[in-house]
Amino acid sequence: MINKEMTIRLENGLEARPVAVLVQVASQYESTVYIESDGKKVNAKSIMGMMSLGLDIGEKVIVIAEGPDEKDAIEGIDKFLSGK
């Protein structure tokens, strides 16, 4: 299991369209991926779960990945959240 703190650097935060893309990114990996914010932990592969976090630009989250491709999952999500 890998945990990494990340800062959301997407221009408009995680509104509907970026959440959908994030779910697609997370779903590419076999590993389970969770995003935690303010003590709330949701499955990064769930659109409804991710929307419930209501994350905005500059907020910090902890991304947790566990599975055979956990390192790649963390790197892919970090790249997306940093706006690259």
Which tokens sit at 28?
A: 């590419």
pLDDT tens, position by position, 35-70: 999 999 999 999 999 999 999 999 999 999 999 999
Q: Tell me what the mean pLDDT of segment 6-14 comes to.
A: 89
Q: Tell me what the mean pLDDT of segment 20-38 comes to.
A: 97
Q: Does the pLDDT value for residue 80 go beyond 90?
A: yes
Amino acid letter for position 29: Y
Q: What is the pTM of this model?
A: 0.92
End-to-end CA distance of the chain: 24
Candidates 3.20.20.210, 3.30.1340.10, 3.60.110.10, 3.40.30.10; CATH matching 2-81: 3.30.1340.10
